[in-house]
Structure 1
Amino acid sequence: MEKTIKEQLTELADPEYRQFSAALIPNIGNILGVRLPELRKLAKKIAKSDWRAYLAQAENEFFEETMLQGMVIGYAKADIEEILRYVADFVPKIDNWSVCDSFCSGLKFAKTNKRRVWDFLQPYLASENEYDVRFGVVMLLQYYMDEEHIHSVLGLLDRVKHEGYYAKMAVAWALSICYVKFPEPTMAYLNNNTLDDVTYNKALQKITESYRVDQKTKTLIRSMKRK
């Protein structure tokens, strides 16, 4: 008899990795300790079989069970509207930065469906839920850091007004990527924005941490900090 997904995950669990992961994701306590390459391998296998049946009955007792569902959605082959329905069902299950960011990096269909996914993301950016907002922002930084979208992205990031720490940090992270890739429009934005002080200063800090920004520029960026 074939093992259940939970049994397979339990067998893949590594106690040392569990401790490492638990320290990185402070707000959850249901980690088994399965490494990401193992999860991806399992997700690819499920995506090649009856992934719809799997998603219909998948459990969320453990962190890895939720992470796995997100990966399967990323690997699954179906038309864009069907996949986006699964994405919409999954987003409310996100309750930590790790599942959020991993899920976003797997949604590679966004590259070939930019306009449709852009429209799909708009409600998330204005949501009252912290991880809805983070999902929207991380999708922008993963798939819309290009010439065509940079000004629109900066405008959207400026309109994010969520008080949640992980929403603010996502905006700061996204702005640092904007700066590295498009320094001129991003600098103009940093000189004229409606960001709260925490997000603004964190964005500056993340820019100065980038190895792709020269020392002279880092000094200038540090001088822009709000007191």
Structure 2
Amino acid sequence: MKTVSDRLASLAEPGYADFQAKLIPSVPREKILGVRLPALRALAKEIKGDDEAAFLAALPHGTLEEDLLHAILVGRERDFAAAVAEVDRFLPFADNWATTDILRPKVFARHADETLPYIRRWLASPLPYVRRAAVGFLMAYYLDGNFDPGILALPAKIPQEEYYVGMTVAWFYATALAKRWDETIPYLRDRRLPVWTHNKAIQKAIESYRVPPERKEYLKTLKIK
């Protein structure tokens, strides 16, 4: 019977791995197999029971694709406590933006109040990709139905020196501008973000089709030179 690693290897495309290596520079090329996301999602549907438990227990993994598959499997966990435990166990091993950005446990949206204390703890992590994941959870689950204005202050407070942390914080505020303009615009108008994050958030908002043209023109006046 093929192991998960064997099945991933059979789906590998070296040319696609070369392409991914350019997009995800924090992962060494030799750790990238080149398995496309639809194939990973299809494989995740086939892994169940003891095979899933054994795979999730085998941390750290040796390839990017194993990490991505792990994140997909954790994302489908329906039990809230189990999902938190799995995220807690997995996040310290995350070493790239692709893994953190695919990690989206749907159960968190149904338990927003219970999830928030854990997100606050992850935001305080010394590990940059743990912080990136936490900002991603805020962006995915708290800018729509679970919105509270206080949520907007959280990403602004975390260390953002690492490129992939600053980028996701900028992405968060650009998304918030599209969804919650009135509550979010003071963060740009009053310059509450680091300069790089401030300007990148404006850039992303201007590039977004969800922000009306007149608001984009106003955002241009808020850029810090």
What TM-score results when the alignment is normalised by the length of structure 2?
Answer: 0.92
Tell me which stretches of 4 or more aligned residues in structure 1 moved more than 4 Å: none
Partner of 1:109: 107
Structure 2 matches for 1:96-135, cutoff 5 A?
Answer: 96-104=96-104, 107-135=105-133
**Structure 1 position 177, deviation (Å):** 0.5
Report how many residues are paired: 223
Describe the superposition over 1:38-63 as per-residue Cα deviations: whole angstroms up to 9, x where unpaired. Answer: 11111122145552233123551111
Matched, 1:82 2:117: no
> Is the contact made by 1:47 and 1:75 (CA closer than 8 Å) also made in structure 2?
no
Structure 2 matches for 1:138-153, cutoff 5 A?
Answer: 138-146=136-144, 148-153=146-151
Q: How much is the aligned-residue C-alpha RMSD, in angstroms?
A: 1.6
Query: Residues 148, 102 of structure 1: CA spacing in aligned structure 2 closer, same or farther, 3 A cutoff?
Result: closer
Query: Quick one: which amino acid aligns to residue 12 of structure 2?
Result: A
> Is the contact made by 2:60 and 2:93 (CA closer than 8 Å) also made in structure 1?
no
> Is the contact made by 1:137 and 1:157 (CA closer than 8 Å) also made in structure 2?
yes
How far, CA to CA, are the matches of 1:147 and 1:190 in structure 2? 23
Query: Quick one: which amino acid aligns to residue 23 of structure 2?
Result: L
How far, CA to CA, are the matches of 2:222 and 2:48 in structure 1? 48
How far, CA to CA, are the matches of 2:59 and 2:2 in structure 1? 14
**Structure 1 position 208, deviation (Å):** 0.4
Query: Quick one: which amino acid aligns to residue 3 of structure 1?
Result: K
**Structure 1 position 147, deviation (Å):** 5.9
Identity among equivalent pairs (%): 36
Of residues 46-55 and 177-186 in structure 1, the stretch that sits farther from structure 2 once superposed is 46-55
Partner of 1:92: 92
Structure 2 matches for 1:1-227, cutoff 5 A?
Answer: 2-29=1-28, 30-47=31-48, 50-57=51-58, 60-77=61-78, 79-104=79-104, 107-146=105-144, 148-227=146-225
Query: Quick one: which amino acid aligns to residue 112 of structure 1?
Result: R
Query: Residues 134, 165 of structure 1: CA spacing in aligned structure 2 closer, same or farther, 3 A cutoff?
Result: same
Unaligned runs of 5+ in 1: none
Query: Quick one: which amino acid aligns to residue 16 of structure 1?
Result: G
Query: Quick one: which amino acid aligns to residue 183 of structure 1?
Result: W
Query: Quick one: which amino acid aligns to residue 189 of structure 1?
Result: Y
> Is the contact made by 2:109 and 2:141 (CA closer than 8 Å) also made in structure 1?
yes
Describe the superposition over 1:104-153 as per-residue Cα deviations: whole angstroms up to 9, x where unpaired. Answer: 3xx11111111111111111112221111101100000111126524122
> Is the contact made by 1:48 and 1:76 (CA closer than 8 Å) also made in structure 2?
no
> Is the contact made by 1:58 and 1:69 (CA closer than 8 Å) also made in structure 2?
no
What TM-score results when the alignment is normalised by the length of structure 1?
Answer: 0.92
Query: Quick one: which amino acid aligns to residue 76 of structure 2?
Result: Y
